Homo-oligomer: A and B are copies of this chain.
Amino acid sequence: MSEFKKVSRSENYSEWYNYIVDAAELAQHSAVKGCMVIKPYGYAIWEKMQADLDKRFKATGHSNAYFPLFIPKSLFEAEEKNAEGFAKECAVVTHYRLKADPNNKGKLIVDPEAKLTEELVVRPTSEAIIWNTYRGWIQSYRDLPILINQWANVVRWEMRTRLFLRTAEFLWQEGHTAHATKDEALAETKQMLEVYASFAEDIMAMPVIKGVKTANERFAGADETFCIEAMMQDGKALQAGTSHFLGQNFAKAFDVKFTGKDGKQDFVWATSWGVSTRLMGALIMTHSDDEGLVLPPKLAPIQVVIVPIFRSEEDLAAIAAKVEVIKFQLEEKGISVKFDQRDTLKPGFKFSEWELKGVPVRLAIGMRDLQNNTIEIARRDTKEKKSLSMDNLTHEVLTLLDDIQNNLYQRALNFRSERTKVVNSKEEFVKVLDEGGFALAHWDGLSETEDKIKEEFKATIRCIPLDNIREVGVCFFTGNPSQERVVFARAY
């Protein structure tokens, strides 16, 4: 079924991840270096993420719009820090035509006469093209705020790629808002962080730490970057979403001013925020096990699979008649159900396949069940199963789906708690990182200290938690004074 060897998490976490992505048919590498194909089952999960996020964006007053894929180089370089941050990984369009190769029949070459006078950068992020557009939309405070989101593909040329986690092209949403005041922009930045955090926890069943990035880890062009950080099952951190307070940097770069109520002109305040198909990687690594994908019910394209146990065609027909009723009742409650009546495969094979694909609830029904009015129900997360009366099935399934959603969250939260340690020395620090986990350590606030720690331990400050307790201490690395602990980890 999969080109990749089945391995357990403990054997080789990284190969296990590749196996799951492949075997559960989520995505694959393409003929284009670093670009992935998102397969239908993987895309169906992404669509569920999109639908839920989109609802949250609209509920907080945002509208969707669409801006060009290409950014002329002169616009791209206008906000210098942003440009510098992304210049090294830009795909650049230089020509707009191919022509027949005169030396090689049937082949094409780039037409040298179709060279663009100005190169176009394939967007790695859209602040530049969007703020260049906003200039034309904003004259006075009455034109503000602008609250826009875009669902799009972006390209960042990565040399070392991993499906979903780091790909040259990825899908994401990017919010870009414009405000009359600093406070309003900051409030927006924080609001969207909350939107991301509640999506991660309530829908993905993935606990996150909300925090702020250090200057070293900040988005290029931002005054402040807020983030949500999650812990994967190897104890490494994954940045799951970021919300940037951009200050007036882009307004200044693109000369976007507005006239306030007082008649005075000022530059506009900005935010941007995004999550991407990287969340697919986070989802996989948070819940899945050695048997395959584990999906929280709220994101499962198929929430319940029904497998008939039969010997003859007549058996199957009798079971199918009953299953149609069950399926209808479940679907009426908004549950998505798959009836797997393939007649060339054994039940055991089907059980494994749906386990691999992470379907939260499996129902199995045979002839004896028909006689006894019973059905077997199995949950993917704990692999427990039991026999039930069919009378109350819909209610039982609904309860179980809720229970699985909650259990996955609680399990991930417990895992993170166990692996999050307060450390006060280099020895303790290294121990936590090597075992896999978050180290809560005092840091002296200096970028150069952060750089040295990164070099020595391959660990970075994931964030300074928003709900941090102020606590006087000394930096574990330099012994300098410190006001609070920050979260260190190795990261994806």
Q: What is the distance, in angstroms, from A45's C-beta to the closest C-beta of chain B? A: 11
Q: Provide the bound-state CA to CA distance between A108 and B81, in Å.
A: 12
Whether A93 pairs with B96 at a CB distance below 8 angstroms is no
A132 to B39, CA, bound (A): 14
A90 to B120, CA, bound (A): 13
Binding-face segment, A13-21, A69-77, A197-205: A69-77
Q: What are 18 A-B contacts with C-beta separation under 8 Å?
A: A28-B133, A37-B66, A37-B133, A40-B63, A40-B148, A43-B63, A66-B171, A73-B98, A83-B98, A83-B108, A87-B99, A89-B96, A90-B97, A91-B95, A92-B110, A93-B93, A94-B110, A153-B153
Sorting the interface of chain A by its residue count into under 10, 10 to 19, 20 to 34 or 35 or more gives 35 or more
Q: Which of A's residues lie within 8 Å of B, judged by CB?
A: 28, 30-32, 35-40, 43-44, 47, 63-73, 75-77, 80, 83-84, 87-100, 106-108, 110, 119-122, 129, 132-133, 136, 148, 152-153, 155, 157, 169, 171
**Cβ-defined contact, B95 with A121, below 8 A:** no
**Given known A35-B70, A68-B30, contact A92–B99 (CB-CB < 8 A):** no
Q: Which of A37, A44, A95, A132 has the most CB of B within 10 A?
A: A37
- Bound Cα distance from A397 to B100, whole angstroms: 60
Contacts of A107 in B (CB 8 A): 77
A64 pairs with B93, CB closer than 8 A: no
B110 touches A37 (CB 8 A): no
A71 to B169, CA, bound (A): 12
CA distance A107 to B118 in the complex (A): 13
Q: Which residue of B lies closest to A105 (CB)?
A: B80
A352 to B: closest C-beta gap in Å: 18
- Complex Cα distance, B39 from A133, in Å, reads 10
Whether B36 contacts A65 by the Cβ 8 Å rule is: no
Contact, CB under 8 Å: A120 / B99: no
Please measure, in the bound complex, the distance between the C-alpha atom of A121 and the C-alpha atom of B148, giving whole angstroms.
30
With most chain B CB atoms within 10 A of its CB, the pick from A35, A70, A73 is A70
- Residues of B near A99 (CB, < 8 A) are 87-88
Knowing that A77-B107, A93-B94 touch, tell me 13 more A-B residue pairs with CB under 8 angstroms: A30-B129, A31-B75, A31-B129, A37-B65, A37-B66, A37-B133, A38-B66, A40-B65, A66-B171, A69-B153, A69-B169, A70-B91, A97-B157
CA distance A72 to B108 in the complex (A): 11
- A87–B96 Cα distance when bound, in Å, is 9
* B94 pairs with A66, CB closer than 8 A: no
Report A139 CB to chain B, min CB distance, Å: 12
In the bound complex, CA of A43 to CA of B121 (Å): 24
Chain B residue nearest in CB terms to A41: B63
Given contacts A38-B66, A40-B63, A122-B93, contact A129 B32 (CB under 8 A): yes
Chain B residue at minimal CB-CB distance from A104: B77
Q: Could you say which residues of chain B place their CB within 8 Å of the CB of A133? A: 28, 30-31, 37
Residues on B with C-beta less than 8 A from A84 are 100
Residues on B with C-beta less than 8 A from A87 are 97-100, 108
Q: Which 4 A-B pairs have the closest CB atoms?
A: A40-B63, A35-B68, A38-B66, A87-B98
With the chains together, A77 CA to B283 CA distance in Å? 38
A77–B94 Cα distance when bound, in Å, is 19
Q: What separation, in Å, do the CA atoms of A75 and B122 have in the docked complex?
A: 21
* Closest partner residue, chain B, to A154 (CB atom): B69
User: When the two chains form their complex, are residues A30 and B108 in contact, meaning their CB atoms are under 8 A apart?
Assistant: no
Contact A92 B83, beta carbon cutoff 8 Å: no
A306 vs B43: C-alpha distance when bound (angstroms): 40
Question: Which of A31, A39, A129, A152 has the most CB atoms of chain B within a 10 A radius of its CB?
Answer: A31
Of listed A30, A75, A106, residue having the most chain B CB within 10 A: A30
